[in-house]
Amino acid sequence: MRKDKCLYAKAAKTELDENDYITGKRLFQEQETGFLVCNPPMPPLTTQELDEVYALPFMKYYHPVYENQGGIAAIEEVEFSITHNRGCFSGCNFCALAFHQGRSVTSRSPNSVIQEGKALAANPRFKGYIHDVGGPTANYRKPSCEKQLKSGLCRNKRCLSPSPCDKLEVSHREYLGILRSLRSIPKVKKVFVRSGIRFDYLIADRDDSFFKELIEHHISGQLKVAPEHCSAAVLDKMGKPHIQSYKKFASKFYQLTKTAGKEQYLVPYLMSSHPGSTLKSAVELAVFLKRENIRPEQVQDFYPTPGTISTAMYYTGINPYSMEPVYVPKTPEEKASQRALLQYFLPKNRDKVMEALKKAGRTDLIGSGKDCLVFGSVPQKKTAPGSKKGKNTGRKADNGWQGKRKR
């Protein structure tokens, strides 16, 4: 398998398919001196078992040995946060959650979560703020459908991408009830949701109650969501929904925010250089960001990590689902160019963006027009002496650029 990338890609998909506690089979891989055996996963903890685990007297604080070193500042976010679920059925290709927590969602009982909220409020260090009530995906409380409980996960389709499955059961009622109960606990001033919200699952809910109260009570000015890209070809390789879902969500978010009389914003997570992302794909994303007036402060460059389908794509150049070739940006130069395009507006990125646009054949995005990504001009090709076209090239273009820059 080390010598055959096609076999490696097939093995990656097989490993994911068999990582199911209902239908998974034991896997064997021959090694030089024997066999590597991978057993199917254990069933996830039930609600009762999760409640018992979280009822244990965890300190949720750093060890006293760190006191003389000034403590650990990050502990406050952990100390006063609540995990209410486990597992994630989203199935993003670049995420290892499918392996280390599984795609079958289980959750604690509402009473267990509320009791932990009361315990936090009784803590002498509590200042009135519960920093998060979430998990791998904040707004999941149960498996995606009844079929998943009986027959396991579907092997050749996802619950949400490229569009939600018609069998998907969507409800935020129980989660909303938990948040309301936590808000009513004495000494609690604010309950935040800072774990990732799956926005396509949210807008699939016909009941807007959770969406409205999320905006009214549980956001600290910004809500982080993860569209990741805008190119359909790239999103398909990521296992993410197409950008229309994000645009629908964003429109509803700002509509409800305005109705609530608040000033709140979306902070989109974006990723460059994922397998399948060409330079033209990165330019497409930059144009989308400009059109939508999005200026990301931080962007993530794809790095291969163990246990993901995206890493298998990166290594093999093959999509394990279709066994078709996948373009993989690997050179430091191209990865830097794709990353720079996501922040085309930063002066430090200007040269990289200019060069990337030229390579992609998108010099129409260089100039002073409203759709241009960077200000400047592209030198025209010299023509033969005596040619009429040759009289209006080169220097005049440079002078025009300088004049516009001065204004």
Is the predicted pLDDT of residue 122 greater than 70, yes or no?
yes
Residues 234-292: pLDDT tens digits?
999 999 999 999 999 999 999 999 999 999 999 999 999 999 999 999 999 999 999 99
Residues 39-79: pLDDT tens digits?
999 999 999 999 999 999 999 899 999 999 999 998 988 99
Residues 72-120: pLDDT tens digits?
998 988 999 999 999 999 999 999 998 989 999 999 999 999 999 999 9
**Contact present, 312 and 10 (Cβ < 8 Å):** no
pLDDT at 340: 98
Domain with CATH 3.30.750.210 in the chain: 44-220
pLDDT at 382: 57
Is the predicted pLDDT of residue 387 greater than 60, yes or no?
no
Distance CA 255, CA 232 (A): 26
**pTM summary value:** 0.88
Residues 302-347: pLDDT tens digits?
999 998 999 999 999 999 999 999 999 999 999 999 999 999 999 9
Residues 17-40: pLDDT tens digits?
999 999 999 999 988 899 999 999
The closest of 277, 200, 203 to 238, measured between CA atoms, is: 277
Of 1-5, 182-186, 268-272, the poorest mean pLDDT is in 1-5
Q: Is 3.30.470.10 the CATH classification of the domain at 222-376?
A: no
Give every strand in the sheet of 222-228, ordered side by side.
222-228, 265-272, 300-301
Please list the helix, strand and coil fractions of the chain in percent, rounded to the nearest 5, in that order: 40, 10, 50
Q: Is 197 left (phi over 0), alpha (psi -120 to 50) or beta?
A: beta
Q: How many residues does the chain have?
A: 407
- Using DSSP, state whether 305 is helix, strand or coil: coil
Is the predicted pLDDT of residue 130 greater than 70, yes or no?
yes
CB neighbours of 194 closer than 8 A, spacing ≥ 6?
Answer: 81, 131, 132, 134, 138, 220, 224
Mean pLDDT in residue range 160-169: 92
Q: Decide: residue 2, CB within 10 A, 0-12 exposed, 13-18 middle, 19+ buried.
A: exposed
What b-and-e string marks burial along 328-360, b requiring 16 or more CB atoms within 10 Å of the CB?
bbeeeebbbbbbbbbbbeeeebbebbbebbeeb
Q: 391: pLDDT confidence band, cut at 50, 70 and 90?
A: very low
Is the predicted pLDDT of residue 406 greater than 70, yes or no?
no
Q: Measured between alpha carbons, how far is residue 153 from residues 88, 347, 384 in Å? A: 12, 47, 66
Distance CA 163, CA 92 (A): 13
The closest of 406, 340, 398, 332 to 373, measured between CA atoms, is: 340
> What mean pLDDT is reported for the chain?
91
Domain with CATH 3.30.750.200 in the chain: 222-376
Mean pLDDT in residue range 128-157: 93
Distance CA 93, CA 98 (A): 9
Tell me which CATH code domain 44-220 carries: 3.30.750.210
pLDDT at 390: 45
